[in-house]
Amino acid sequence: MNFGLYLPLLAGLAFCNHCRRPADGQADALALPAAIAMGLATAIMLLLGGGLLTLADSARPGLPLPLVASVLQAASALLLAGTLQRLAAGTAAALGLHWPLLLLNSLLAGLPLYFLPSASSAAASLCAALLSAALFTLLLAQFATLPHRLQRCALPARLQGRPALLLCALIIALALHGLGARLS
């Protein structure tokens, strides 16, 4: 895995997240809080999964990394989903914090972190997790506000709405690929 692939993956993931948002009357007003909430949730999952992995590694070294990492990421996602379900079910649902989405985010955004070239030390992996969560939040917020702006573009009728957003996602992914390729 390298950054040139990982960062566009985040863009695609953010686009998926945006498409899965509930489209009701309050979706527009809650778009930005939903993006921030999902970004924070992803940060929690990444930090939790990474921390658990460090603990597991120190407790019993030599475990197969891919298996343990995916189990721990899935566990942290389900733990968060369960906690949210118990404490603030209605709000979490309105903000789109559903467990399948959390699981997807945790696995797709979290797992590659352990295989990135920079994840050599604990501090570096922590830093990578934070940065990737921050970038993911930024991307989510971008997708939350882009449709409003796209309305004012004179896009052809066939491209209105989601296809236009997909186009934007592709361009963002291109830019992220360009940046990520330099990091690797």
Partner 1 sequence: MTLVLRLLLLLLAIWLLGKVLRSSAQKLRPATSTLPPLAERIDAILPQTQCGQCGHAGCLPYAQALARGEDSINRCPPGGEDGIRKLAALLHTDYLPFAADAPPQKPKAVALIDEATCIGCTLCIQACPVDAILGSAKQMHTVLADECTGCELCLAPCPVDCISMRPATSQPADWRWGYPVIAIKAVKPGSSS
Partner 2 sequence: MNTPVIRLAPTLASRNRQQLLALLPAIAIQLWQWGPPALLALASASASALLADSLGLAWRRQAIWPGLRQGEALLTAVLLSLLLPDAAVPLLCLCTGGAILLLRQLFGGSGSSLFHPVAGGLLLAAPWLPAGLPHADIPLSLALLAGGLWLLWRGLLRWQAPLGLLLVVLIALPVGSGWLLGQSALWLLAGWVMSDGSATPITPRGRLVYGQAAGMLCISFVTLTTQPDAGVTLAACLLLLSASAPLLDRLTLSPGPRT
Quick check: 126 binds partner 1 (CB under 8 A)?
A: yes
Q: Does 92 bind partner 1 (CB under 8 A)?
A: yes
Q: Which of 65, 145, 161, 162 binds partner 2 (CB under 8 A)?
A: 145
Helices 3-19 and 122-150: crossing angle in degrees, nearest 10, is 50
Answer yes or no whether residue 122 interacts with partner 1 by CB under 8 A: yes
- Euclidean distance between CA atoms 163 and 130, whole angstroms: 30
User: Which of these segments, 14-22, 61-69, 92-100, 111-119, binds partner 1 (CB under 8 A)?
Assistant: 92-100
The residue type of 71 is V
Per the CB < 8 A criterion, the answer to whether 69 and 57 are in contact is: no
Nearer to partner 1, 82 or 178 (CB): 82
Q: Supply the minimum distance, in Å, between the C-beta of residue 5 and partner 1.
A: 25
- From the list partner 1, partner 2, none, which binds 131 (C-beta under 5 to 8 Å, kind-based)? none
Rounded Cα distance between 146 and 150, Å, is: 6
How many Cβ atoms are within 10 Å of 133's Cβ, its own excluded? 24
Q: Which residues contact 9 (CB under 8 A, 6 or more apart)?
A: 108, 109, 112
Three-state SS for 15? helix
- CB closer to partner 2 out of 12 and 51: 12
Q: Which is nearer to partner 2, 84 or 116 (CB)?
A: 116
Binding site for partner 2 (CB under 8 A): 32, 138, 141-142, 144-146, 148-150, 152-156, 159, 167-168, 171-172, 174-176, 178-179, 182-183
